[in-house]
Amino acid sequence: MTQLMPALLLLVVLAAPCAPPLLPTPLHEPAEADKAFKEHYTKYEYRIPMRDGVKLYTVAYVPRDRSRTWPVLLMRTPYAVTPGVDVYPELKNPRVLARYALSPAAIRDGFIFVNQDVRGKMMSEGTFVDVRPKAAVDEATDAFDTIDFLVKHLPSNNGKVGAWGISYPGFYAAQAAIDAHPALKAVSPQAPVTDWYLGDDFHHNGALFLMDTFNFFSSFGKPRPAPTRKSSWGFDYDTGDAYEFFLNLGPLKNANERYFKGDITFWNEALAHPNRDAYWKARDPRPRYRQVKPAVLVVGGLFDAEDLWGTVATYRAFDAQSPGADVRLVLGPWRHGGWARTDGDALGDLSFGWKTSRHYQETIELPFFRKALKGCNEEQPAEAIVFQTGTNVFLRHDAWPPKSVATTLFLGGDGRLLTRAPKEQEAFDAWVSDPKKPVPHRAGYTLENEGEYMVEDQRFASRRPDVISYQTPVLTEDVTVVGTIDVDVWLSTSGSDADVVVKLIDVQPFDKPNGPNGARLAGAHTLIRGEVMRGRFRDGFEAPKAFTPGVPARVRFTLPDVSHTFRTGHRLMVQVQSTWFPLVDLNPQTFVDPATATEGDFKAATHRLFRDAAHPSSVTIAVSQGALP
């Protein structure tokens, strides 16, 4: 028995729980977190030298309890950290809390929270480059040098670091995992900027996301010639109607002539590179996410209007290129950053019935960092934890996407979606696409492109003559759709270019009860997923190809991942259109570069969507439960 004691003691030590949290009382609300942060953390300022001598402005909030050591949570950001050693951020604002301290639960548990202005932004020295490509000095080396300094100089640190961030800071978190510093044990890229040409933020499948690009860079893209404590954010649209503003803007070249005056570097570069050339390929970080050693938790929202594509693409890159690494994915029913900035109980007209964000923060995110940085005996997330809208539950999966059956839905006559291929010899639906009267992406009037449009009732679009709808019969059982959606359509145009926009829609029954704030959901056409494809890139993004007027051309692309159950009594609908404005810039519908197009290049065109035996147009979904009628 005596000989077994050392082994038994070892088992007890390995299974021992963490040390108690910094604070005995749970924290849930931002106001509680703000008070605790100011009372229990001391702020420090540093100017950390990089290997090329550039110094990056960094602030650290260290627990005042020095009886033990604490791990570091690092967020590198282009959006400014609060300067002044005695000036604390106002965490009562959830959006501010999400930029500094992860969550109220993390403040209570106890970490050293570090925030840094990246190279060339705000108080840091150097020159800023958007989604900086690989170089001798880049974001990965800046993260390495920062971590090296922190573990050597921060008071009361335990020598372990985690990196995290939402959106652009999510990109910097992912970069930290490249050739990572040995002290970096955990990385959580959340809604990470990934590829700004293929599917994130400012382009989707070669089409410019006009409203987002203009809104963001009219503020973020302003020159910063020297380190500064203040930034000027905002643009005077002189209207509350984005549709009106951007329609009146006209061709893209007018943005510089009327507003930017050539001062917005990324706007100029994006328009100078309309194809996916070396400029864009160098800014795709995914090839570098190889052989990572830190644990990785990629997080995003199913209704993230900015970086849904990048979230899943980042997860797949880490997972495929780092065999044996601990890589996990979380997708919830959230808008951009909603898991940190909202309760996650509703979005637009939809109610999810419970505070999904708190559940994520306290049972998924915090245990992930506690295990990696504190050695806690925590149950870890499944390979993928993904919310299933429709039934409104989180499901644990061994892989993403989970096992499913590919089901092809063919676009048929009389607005039907069919599970059999068409037999007609010649059949098509036609509409006139007029750049002067494009289909709006929202029914209301707004200058903000919040995530609500991703769940908005599409009946306003269904009633337009330039939007074609197809739907199934009423479902007799629940049907769950998971993963990407593959579009394969045949289109002709009287012009020489055309966009294809495809939406997946849940048609609600007329006995559907009202949603939040009395929203009328009876008969609603609730958007589940939508995506655009610029037709000139149908055969590749590097070499655009004109349409031959009147000749059918095959257009294939995928819609971003979905996890949704169409409930019994609902219908599944597919909508097809060719404008989605001002979310997407106007295609001139003539084969010219939109960046240099003039007013005269924009032409109305007649589009035909074919649905016959020789040209079967379809949408293929992955069904994990149920079957379509």
Among 341, 195, 212, 355, smallest CA distance to 281 is for: 195
Tell me the domain boundaries of the chain.
41-194+285-397, 207-281, 405-625
pLDDT tens digits for 221-242?
999 999 999 888 888 898 889 9
The predicted structure's pLDDT at residue 231 = 81
Mean pLDDT of all residues in 274-303:
97
Q: Distance between CA atoms of 463 and 196, rounded to whole angstroms?
A: 33
Give the rounded distance of the alpha carbon of 28 from its chain centre: 25
- Per-residue pLDDT band for 378 (boundaries 50, 70, 90) equals confident
Q: What is the pLDDT of residues 397-406, one digit of tens each?
A: 999 999 999 9
Please, which pLDDT band fits residue 498 given cuts at 50, 70 and 90?
A: very high
Tell whether the model's pLDDT for residue 518 goes beyond 90. no
Mind listing the pLDDT tens digit for each residue in 545-563?
999 999 999 999 999 999 9
Contacts with 83 (C-beta within 8 Å, 6 or more apart), sequence order: 45, 57, 59, 122, 123, 229
Under the banding of pLDDT at 50, 70 and 90, the label for residue 477 is very high
Closest of 77, 47, 32 to residue 146, by C-alpha: 47
Length of the chain: 629
Residue 426, CA atoms < 13 Å, CB-side half-sphere: 3
Whole-number Å distance between alpha carbons of 293 and 321: 12
Q: How many helices (H) and strands (E) does the chain have?
A: 16, 25
Question: What residues contact 230, with CB distance under 8 A and at least 6 apart?
Answer: none
The two most distant CA atoms of the chain are separated, in Å, by 92
CA distance 47 to 145: 12
- Indicate the pairing of strand 479-493 with strand 553-566: antiparallel
Residue 513 banded pLDDT, cuts 50, 70, 90: confident
Neighbours of 11 (CB within 10 A): 10
Res. 310 pLDDT band, cuts 50 70 90 = very high
76, 86, 102: which is closest to 43 by C-alpha?
86
Is the pLDDT at 14 greater than 60? The verdict is no
Q: Give me the pLDDT at residue 2, please.
A: 34
pLDDT band at 3 (very low <50, low <70, confident <90, very high): very low
Query: Could you tell me if 331 and 564 are in contact, meaning their C-beta atoms sit under 8 angstroms apart?
Result: no
Helical residues (DSSP H) of 330-428, grouped into ranges:
338-341, 356-360, 366-374
Residue range 207-281, CATH number: 1.10.3020
What pLDDT was estimated at residue 103?
96
Residue pair 359/474 in contact (Cβ under 8 Å)? The answer is no
Q: CA-to-CA distance for 94 and 132, rounded, in angstroms?
A: 29
* Res 11 pLDDT > 60: no
pLDDT average, residue stretch 327-347: 96
Contacts of residue 21, Cβ cutoff 8 Å, sequence gap at least 6: 108, 109, 110
Neighbours of 263 (CB within 10 A): 12
Three-state SS sequence of 382-401: CCEEEEEECCCEEEEECCCC
The CA-atom distances, in angstroms, between 537 and each of 406, 452, 616 are 25, 29, 20
Q: Domain 405-625 classified CATH 3.30.2130.10? A: no
Provide the pLDDT confidence category of residue 12 given band limits of 50, 70 and 90: very low
Average of per-residue pLDDT across 155-181: 98
pLDDT tens digits for range 203-220: 999 999 999 999 999 999
Give me the mean pLDDT over the 319-331 stretch.
96
Please, what is the average pLDDT of the chain? 94
Q: How confident is the model at residue 15 (pLDDT cuts 50, 70, 90)?
A: very low
Contact between residue 455 and residue 350 where contact means Cβ atoms under 8 Å apart: yes
pLDDT tens, position by position, 84-98: 999 999 999 999 999
Tokens coding 80? 């400014």
Pick the CATH number of 41-194+285-397 from 3.40.50.2000, 3.40.50.1820, 2.40.50.100, 3.30.460.80: 3.40.50.1820
The more confidently predicted of residues 508 and 231 is: 508
% of the chain exceeding 70 in pLDDT:
97
Q: What band does 444 get if pLDDT is binned at 50, 70 and 90?
A: confident
